[in-house]
Amino acid sequence: MPRVNYRSYEVDEMARMMRAEAEGEGKQGMLYVGNVIVNRCAATCLDFKDVNTIHDVIFQVQGGNYSFEAVQKGNVFYQRAREFEKRLAKQNLDYWRDHPAKFALWYFNPHAPCPPTWYDQPHSGQFKEHCFYEPKPGTCDSVYSG
């Protein structure tokens, strides 16, 4: 059983997002980005109460902007997904999660050391240039059960 329900076009969207956000960090980096996307879809808390599909997550607008920089700026996101990224996206959707993004709802590249918190949420770890953050205990228990 997949971690969240999805449609074939969402595998493509997710694959494009993973590539656009983390291609330079290789397979592992793209899988971590995929963890965050799936976690946001599974979460029923904080900023993610009303995002119920992978498509909703990718195109979520917060504060007047798309949540993901790749959608805002276009860059690689609007290129076709390759089979490699589609396989990684399916892997995330169906079962794969790992630390530091296992329960993360946020990530970013600070171009500096990772801050200990991001919008008051604790740092869960770093992979190459990306810092990952998971919700404080008790603020989003749904992300820990999905």
Q: Global pTM?
A: 0.95
DSSP H stretches of helix in the chain: 8-22, 26-42, 54-58, 69-73, 83-94, 142-145
Q: pLDDT per position in the chain (146 positions), as tens?
A: 899 999 999 999 999 999 999 999 999 999 999 999 999 999 999 999 999 999 999 999 998 999 998 998 876 688 889 999 999 999 999 999 999 999 999 999 999 999 999 999 999 999 999 999 999 989 999 998 76
pLDDT digits (tens, 9 = 90+) for 23-60: 999 999 999 999 999 999 999 999 999 999 999 999 99
Q: Which of 129, 32, 34 is nearest to 86 (CA)?
A: 34
